[in-house]
Chains A and B, each alone.
Chain A
């Protein structure tokens, strides 16, 4: 089709990242941040007891892979939103530059997340 846009690629990853971020990240913040800080027994217990808790869960490769995927998709989501906001704010840059800068940053961030998850 003439003039067909390739934006669906970015948009669909953006959409996935948005759903994933909205579903999981508040829960993750609540459990690991607020719940832990408030001293909820269930959460602090899970954090403290390495063998049964979150620490043990993180030793499973599939769990790390899912965590990495959540964070990578959320970074692409953020990159897409930042790219379009810059355009809306009349930042005059060639479209290719904005695409490389925004999704490139998300790719680098995702790679760093993957390295951290693989090594630690």
Chain B
């Protein structure tokens, strides 16, 4: 489809390169297409205007979780943010907040990876069969339904950008990793609750969460990390009082 006069959208894109003293915003004019998302516009900029623009993306269909950015100040998957929602513009694209910036829209994910690993988000068995499957572990649909919602996380980290606690605490394990911890703790095949306990039940685990709920509001996969953390707080509180009042019932 072609129109006589093409509608243009102004993009204000956060730019930073490691050898620059400070970040800046660069303005690009992008033709408006009703069926374009912000990621299409970024690809257009990179292909036709400025090849130095750096950002992560892969699947462009809300599965890989790599294209998250702040779009007009709100954490979004750029592949799911239609230009039509932001017309007439301008559209400001910035890297996800609460992360250090490596270059342009690319953030450093090392801190998150360490936190993710710390909650051991995999099936742990008392029989030690973590790395070698010794038999099938059967599960009923009802048992699967208990944790299914929390297993939909794609690690896009929009929840960390939305989280007020992550904005002031580097140590806070954060919504996605805590939701995954809860996902495995609720899995009938898993026996690793004890091994995750120390990490989850410290201040920097579930207890720093102030239950603002923005993590669940921005989640593109409807995981509800805030709900997962609240569930974990309930079991954590019961565990705390049990240890305090009936220590003989607790395994050492």
Bind each other: yes
Q: Verify A5–B203 contact, CB threshold 8 A.
A: yes
B84 within 8 A of A: no
Q: Verify B207–A5 contact, CB threshold 8 A.
A: yes
Q: Verify B210–A84 contact, CB threshold 8 A.
A: yes
Main secondary structure of the interface of A (DSSP, over half): helix
By a beta-carbon cutoff of 8 Å, the part of chain B in contact with chain A is: 164-165, 167-168, 197-198, 201-203, 205, 207, 210-212, 233, 236-237, 240-241, 243
Q: Verify B168–A90 contact, CB threshold 8 A.
A: yes
A-B contact count (CB 8 A): 47
Q: Verify B237–A1 contact, CB threshold 8 A.
A: no
Cross-chain contact of B240 among A8, A15, A90 (Cβ < 8 A): A8
Cross-chain contact of B241 among A1, A3, A8 (Cβ < 8 A): A8
Q: Verify A7–B165 contact, CB threshold 8 A.
A: no
Assuming the contacts A7-B203, A8-B237, asked whether A1 and B198 have C-beta atoms less than 8 A apart, the reply is yes
Q: Mark A4-16, 1 if CB is under 8 A from B, else 0.
A: 1111110110010
On chain B, the residues within 8 Å of A41 by CB distance are none
On chain A, the residues within 8 Å of B165 by CB distance are 87-88
A2 to B201 CA separation, bound complex (whole angstroms): 10
On chain A, the residues within 8 Å of B198 by CB distance are 1-4
A-B contact pairs, 30 of them (CB 8 A): A1-B198, A1-B243, A2-B198, A3-B198, A3-B203, A4-B198, A4-B201, A4-B240, A5-B201, A5-B202, A5-B203, A5-B205, A5-B207, A6-B240, A7-B203, A7-B207, A8-B233, A8-B236, A8-B237, A8-B240, A11-B233, A12-B241, A15-B237, A84-B210, A85-B210, A87-B165, A87-B210, A88-B165, A88-B167, A88-B168
